[in-house]
Structure formats: C-alpha cells, structure tokens
C-alpha cells in the first residue's frame, strides 16, 4: 500500500485537480454576479427605486389622471404629492384638475387659496365660503366660479358679477333677494334657498327684469312674510324643476301661475297647522310629483294639477282618481298601502298604467303581507297592466326626474352626478 505513484497516476491526479479548479472558478463567477446588484444598489438609492417601484415607469399623463382623483378626494393631496420627488412635482404642477378643489372651511387651506386658484388654471370652481370670508376674496376668479354657496355672506355690498355662475345656494337668514342682487348672476340656472328663516324677503319686480332669469331649477321656502311666487312668475317659462317648502299656515296666495315646461315638483309642508287650500299652479307637462309633511297631521294633495303625472312619492295616502297617468307610486307611510289597495279593489280601472307600488315596510306590518298579496292578485286579474308590489325597509325606488337634493362641498360637487 506504500508503493510510490507511477507516471500514469500523476496524470490522472492532474486532470482531477484541473476539474475541481474549473468548478471552483464557475462558483466564484456566480457569486460575483449575484452580489453585483447589491453593490449597485448600495451605491445609488435611485436605481434601487427604479428596480423595485413600478410607479416610476408611469408617464406624466397617467400620473395626472391619478393625481386629479387624489386632489378631489383631499384638498391637501397636491401639496403632499409635490414633496415626493422632482418628477412628481412637475406632474402635479401640470395637473390643474388636482388644484380645483380647495376647502375654504379648513383654515390652512384658506390661507393658501390664492395658490390653489393660480395652479388650477382656468377650470370652473365650486366655492363655499365661510361666514368670516368676504366675497372679495374671489373677485379675481369670479369668471371661473360655476357654483357658489352663500352662508351669511352679503354679496350685494361688494357688487361682484359672476358671469358664468350656474348654481347658487343661499342659507343666509338676512339676505334680501332683489333685482340688483340677481344681476350679479346673469347665467344663473339653479337657485336653491333652503334653511332660511321667517326674515327671508324678496324685492323682485318680475315684470321689469324677468329677462334676467333663465332658471331651470328652483328651491324656495314659503313663509307668511315672503311672497316668492313673484320670483316663480319671473322664471315660469324655462323652469323645469321646482321645490317648495311651506312654513306658514296661510294659503299660498298668488300661486295661480302657469308653468308650461315644469317636469318635477316637490312640496314639503313643515307647519304645525293644516294647510288652507292648495297650490293653484298649472303644470301641463308635469311628470314627477313628491309631497312630504313634517308634522303628524292630515294633509290632502297640496298640488292638484296631476293629470300628466306618472311618478309620485308621498308620505300618506293618495287619491288615485286624480292621477290617471300614474305608473310608479312610492309610499313612505307603509300603512297607506291599505287605502290604496281598497281604492283599486273598489275600481280596478283606476290608473290603468300603474305597474309598481313601492312601500316602506316595517316589521309591525308583517301580519298584513299575506292579505295584501291575496288582494293584489284579485285586482291584477282584471287589469291589462299587472301591478307589482315592492315591500322594502327603506325607500329604494329612484323616480325618473326626481328632484335632486342640492349639496356642494369640497368632497361632493353639485355636478358629480350629472
């Protein structure tokens, strides 16, 4: 076993050593290639971001779309985005849509409002100033304001004209509606005066300056001290949507008005005494009628010209004989369905186009379900159009042309839904 190696053994050993050296060299090369990205990343953090962050591959157009949504969701988003990187700052500065949603109720944003106005280019603005903010703050961008909400701000003293304003919401309890006031809004299309008190007043000569008003939507409060029907007369031809809140026990005199193009009418009665009489409005094209009351009192149909109405929402029973074209009925008081069924049971020819009745249903009414279903089956046997009954815990039927509650704020634009 201790024999010295011969020549042949030496050659075999050399070949073995050579093969091992080759494997070692290959392993070392793989190690170097594996560690190379680590060395590169250690030397340049920006390369690290490029390797692992796909967002850096987005072009400026895509970033602008994303940043516009961010600005609409949070007024401060453009400021934060601009601090991320140079490329993002360039993109956000080139996106005026992201700067078009300043929140004036936020003190920090209010101090930077001029910056937002400048960086939003020429985009339309929706402005909701607070009580402490003067309208003069918006004098340089008055031509860009599309929607304005006034809460305790007296614009008449400033005499600023808003040439392109279309939506105006007023909640001030001390503002006087006059001819001069309305001349500040020559293109006004939607006027909403909710939440006003009994000091609300109008000084409006519709015969003298009715040409100033081209209102399509109007929401007003009727009180014993206000005579807003003069304003309604001034807008009667273009008006397509009208909401009236009646806060007084008096009969709404002066309501004998023809509204030739009115499509939607909503009436809310919020006084504790029964209304005396009904509205004398003539509405030859009315399609959707809604009526609600605040107090627990019996209230007959406040508006009577319902021959063309197809969609009704009401919080008490309705007289079907006066709504011959009715197609959809929404009852907010579930027990009203009993009277409606009785009317149909007595005369199955009422409302021949009626196809759906939506009822706000509560658990206490469950014992009526079987009876209503049985009666409706009997009624449908005699009708060309079958009536479907929808019993739901809350109103879930959206009526066509229904009056849309006007709200506008930093995160909810009045034009978001059309």
Look at residue 410 and tell me if it is in a domain: no
Domain that holds residue 85: 40-103
Q: Which of 221-225, 283-287, 330-334 has the lowest mean pLDDT?
A: 221-225
Q: Are residues 167 and 286 in the same domain?
A: yes
Let me know: does 233 contact 256? Beta carbons within 8 Å: no
Greater confidence (327 vs 254) lies with: 327
Q: Are residues 284 and 138 in the same domain?
A: yes
In this prediction, residues 308-327 reach a mean pLDDT of 91
Let me know: does 101 contact 410? Beta carbons within 8 Å: yes
Q: Are residues 326 and 391 in the same domain?
A: yes
Residues pairing with 115 in the sheet = none
Tell me what pLDDT residue 408 has. Answer: 65
Look at residue 110 and tell me if it is in a domain: no
Tell me what pLDDT residue 110 has. Answer: 72
Token pair of 415 as six digits: 């034009």
| Residue 312's pLDDT band (cuts 50, 70, 90) | very high
Query: Does the structure show a pLDDT above 70 at 385?
Result: yes
In angstroms, the first-to-last Cα distance of the chain is: 100
Residues pairing with 266 in the sheet = 243, 290
Query: Does the structure show a pLDDT above 90 at 310?
Result: yes
Q: CA 196, CA 175: separation in Å to the nearest integer?
A: 10
Tell me what pLDDT residue 280 has. Answer: 77
Token pair of 228 as six digits: 């807003």
Look at residue 82 and tell me if it is in a domain: yes
In this prediction, residues 336-364 reach a mean pLDDT of 90
| Spatial CA neighbour of 271 closest among 289, 242, 243, 244 | 244
Q: CA 91, CA 401: separation in Å to the nearest integer?
A: 40
What is the residue whose two structure tokens read 């949507």?
Answer: 241
Query: Does the structure show a pLDDT above 50 at 197?
Result: no
Tell me what pLDDT residue 186 has. Answer: 86
Question: Which range has highest mean pLDDT (56-60, 281-285, 298-302, 405-409)?
Answer: 281-285
Which of 56, 74, 103 marks a domain boundary? 103
Q: Are residues 193 and 50 in the same domain?
A: no
Tell me what pLDDT residue 380 has. Answer: 93
Q: Are residues 336 and 293 in the same domain?
A: no
| Residue 261's pLDDT band (cuts 50, 70, 90) | very high
Q: CA 317, CA 151: separation in Å to the nearest integer?
A: 37
Q: Are residues 297 and 382 in the same domain?
A: no
Give this prediction's pTM.
Answer: 0.74
Q: What is the average pLDDT score of the chain?
A: 78
Query: Does the structure show a pLDDT above 90 at 393?
Result: no
Q: Are residues 91 and 222 in the same domain?
A: no
Query: Does the structure show a pLDDT above 60 at 51?
Result: no
Q: Are residues 147 and 50 in the same domain?
A: no
Q: Are residues 348 and 372 in the same domain?
A: yes
DSSP 326: -
Q: Are residues 58 and 199 in the same domain?
A: no
Dump pLDDT digits (tens) for 126-172: 888 877 777 778 888 999 998 888 775 555 455 788 999 988 888 76
Query: Based on the structure, what is the number of domains in the chain?
Result: 3
What is the residue whose two structure tokens read 């009704």?
Answer: 312
Tell me what pLDDT residue 91 has. Answer: 92
In the chain, count H helices and then E strands.
12, 14
- Side by side, which strands form the sheet with 288-293? 125-127, 145-150, 167-170, 190-192, 217-222, 241-246, 264-269, 288-293, 311-314, 328-331, 356-360, 388-392
Q: Are residues 277 and 131 in the same domain?
A: yes
Look at residue 112 and tell me if it is in a domain: no
Q: Are residues 51 and 158 in the same domain?
A: no
| Spatial CA neighbour of 339 closest among 360, 325, 324, 318 | 318
Residues pairing with 177 in the sheet = 202
| Residue 418's pLDDT band (cuts 50, 70, 90) | very low
The DSSP result for 27-74, as a single string, is HHHHHHHHHHHHHHHHH-HHHHHHHH-GGGG--HHHHHHHHHHHHHH-
Query: Does the structure show a pLDDT above 80 at 207?
Result: no
């Amino acid at each position: 076993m201790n024999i010295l190696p011969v020549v042949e053994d030496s050659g075999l050993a050399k070949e073995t050593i050579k093969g091992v050296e080759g494997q070692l060299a290959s392993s070392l090369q793989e190690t170097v290639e594996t560690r190379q990205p680590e060395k590169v990343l250690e030397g340049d953090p920006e390369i690290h971001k490029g390797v692992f962050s796909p967002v850096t591959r987005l072009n400026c157009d895509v970033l602008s779309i994303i940043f516009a949504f961010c600005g609409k969701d949070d007024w401060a988003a453009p400021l934060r985005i601009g601090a991320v990187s140079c490329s993002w700052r360039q993109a956000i500065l080139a996106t005026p849509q992201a700067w078009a949603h300043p929140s004036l109720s936020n003190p920090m944003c209010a101090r930077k409002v001029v910056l937002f106005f400048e960086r939003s280019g020429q985009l339309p603005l929706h402005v909701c100033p607070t009580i402490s903010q003067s309208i003069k703050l918006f004098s340089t961008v008055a031509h860009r304001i599309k929607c304005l909400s006034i809460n305790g701000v007296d614009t008449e003293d400033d005499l600023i004209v808003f040439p392109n304003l279309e939506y105006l919401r007023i909640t001030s309890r001390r503002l006087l509606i006059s001819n001069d006031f309305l001349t500040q809004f020559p293109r006004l299309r939607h006027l909403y005066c909710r939440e006003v008190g009994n000091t609300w007043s109008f000084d409006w000569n519709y015969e003298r300056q009715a040409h100033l008003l081209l209102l399509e939507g109007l929401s007003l409060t009727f009180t014993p001290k206000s005579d807003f029907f003069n304003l309604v007369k001034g807008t009667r031809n273009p008006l397509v949507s009208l909401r009236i809140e009646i806060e007084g026990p008096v009969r709404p005199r002066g309501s004998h008005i023809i509204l030739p193009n009115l499509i939607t009418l909503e009436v809310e009665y919020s006084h504790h005494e029964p209304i005396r009489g009904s509205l004398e409005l003539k509405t030859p094209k009315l399609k959707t009628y809604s009526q609600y009351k605040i107090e627990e009192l019996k209230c007959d149909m406040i508006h009577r010209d319902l021959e063309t109405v197809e969609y009704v929402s009401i919080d008490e029973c309705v007289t079907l004989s006066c709504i011959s074209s009715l197609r959809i009925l929404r009852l907010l008081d579930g027990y009203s369905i009993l009277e409606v069924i009785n009317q149909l049971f007595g005369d199955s020819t009422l409302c021949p186009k009626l196809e759906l009745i939506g009822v706000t249903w509560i658990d206490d009414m469950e014992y009526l379900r079987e009876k209503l279903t049985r009666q409706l089956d009997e009624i449908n046997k005699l009708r060309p159009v079958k009536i479907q009954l929808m019993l739901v815990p809350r109103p879930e039927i959206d009526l066509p042309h229904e009056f849309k509650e006007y709200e506008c704020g930093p995160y909810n634009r009045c034009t978001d839904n059309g």
